[in-house]
A and B are shown apart, each in its own frame.
Chain A
């Protein structure tokens, strides 16, 4: 039993007890039981902890363009409460936002402001292409609609349908959370689109 790692220092972690060898167990450790300490604590890496924090409060930017924006507003409403996921704070300034939900058709005239907003966001940032029009141009294959926003911004999640149900958008958001928690890097690190 002495060979199994049971103490923090067996894991290579420095604690004040290690630096101060003559110090006895703290009140906290005594309450938990010194033998169960490692089981009572959560051990994690800094990366995972940071990703957990980012996932639980990924604030979207108010980028509602067309019909999908109405369904995006309805995920904030009380039935499909997005506040459960810590995301009801839609930031108006892209400098304060993490997630850009492109909801609606993007005209060529709007493509430049879209790219500007994306550039103003700080890393790490994610993009969800909500709806068929943002994913691929949707039912509009013409002179004025950008055939998919992934032509100008790197997209993490595509949510299909026209407009997607609020549950579908939330599924996309949750998948993004899970992907990020699992360590998948944001799209700008993976894809070579217009970065």
Chain B
């Protein structure tokens, strides 16, 4: 019987837990994420599958209604929310940072620990909990600009070292070159 079989309230920094599409998402306070990860690892979640950051800038804004192939042409920076009947509920902060954990047991257990950040806020690095987090955190820093405190080597990983900006953010343009008559993309 695991410590969290009946509920995740015992986790340090626990805010809420949610079940959807067959998986559990546990939201934790940003300041307590390191302690929460340690508790989860001690409970059997010895495997960190992934660290993902999602940028919710522009979430739920009204977009251009109608088709994406509109006469205004290609708008490279506009997030994809167009003419919905109901807009999605707003998110607490701009970035969500998800840790996908796996307990290699029979039956397997998976959980997503999630915390929310704003621009400029930093998060404790979990390299001391799972060493594999090293490159995952570097990638998230490189592409999204999330600062990880205590990371031994927080440098750019995928982009060239002198690149400016964080490409996966929603206010970063898609780049490339303009293509005539291709208004959808």
Residues of A55-83 contacting chain B, CB below 8 A: none
Most-contacted residue by chain B among A108, A137, A140, A142 (CB, 10 A): A142
Task: Please state if B175 and A143 are interface contacts (CB–CB under 8 Å).
Answer: yes
Residues of B163-185 contacting chain A, CB below 8 A: 167, 172-177, 179, 185
- Complex interface: chain B residues within 8 A of A147 (CB): 176-177
Verify if B107 is at the interface (C-beta below 8 Å from A). no
Task: Please state if B159 and A141 are interface contacts (CB–CB under 8 Å).
Answer: no
Verify if B160 is at the interface (C-beta below 8 Å from A). yes
B145 to chain A, nearest CB (A): 15
- Complex interface: chain B residues within 8 A of A137 (CB): 176-177
A144 to B160, CA, bound (A): 10
- Complex interface: chain A residues within 8 A of B185 (CB): 141
A144 to B173, CA, bound (A): 11
Verify if A109 is at the interface (C-beta below 8 Å from B). yes
A143 to B163, CA, bound (A): 11
Verify if A145 is at the interface (C-beta below 8 Å from B). yes
Interface bits A48-60 vs B (CB < 8 Å: 1, else 0)? 0000000000000
- Complex interface: chain A residues within 8 A of B160 (CB): 108-109
**CB-based A-B contact count at 8 angstroms:** 27
A109 to B172, CA, bound (A): 18
Most-contacted residue by chain A among B167, B177, B179, B185 (CB, 10 A): B177
- The SS class assigned to the A binding surface is loop
B167 to chain A, nearest CB (A): 5
A147 to B177, CA, bound (A): 8
- Complex interface: chain B residues within 8 A of A144 (CB): 159, 167, 175
Task: Please state if B177 and A141 are interface contacts (CB–CB under 8 Å).
Answer: yes
Selected from A109, A140, A142, A145, the residue in CB contact (under 8 A) with B159 is A109
A40 to chain B, nearest CB (A): 58
B64 to chain A, nearest CB (A): 21
B31 to chain A, nearest CB (A): 33
Task: Please state if A143 and B179 are interface contacts (CB–CB under 8 Å).
Answer: no
A134 to B179, CA, bound (A): 17
Most-contacted residue by chain A among B160, B172, B173, B179 (CB, 10 A): B160
A148 to chain B, nearest CB (A): 9
B160 to chain A, nearest CB (A): 5
Given contacts A108-B160, A109-B159, contact A143 B177 (CB under 8 A): no
A-B residue pairs in contact (CB < 8 Å), sample of 26: A108-B160, A109-B159, A109-B160, A137-B176, A137-B177, A140-B176, A141-B174, A141-B175, A141-B176, A141-B177, A141-B179, A141-B185, A142-B174, A142-B175, A142-B176, A143-B167, A143-B172, A143-B173, A143-B174, A143-B176, A144-B159, A144-B167, A144-B175, A145-B176, A147-B176, A147-B177
Known: A108-B160, A141-B179. 6 other contacts (CB 8 A): A140-B176, A141-B175, A143-B167, A143-B172, A143-B173, A143-B175
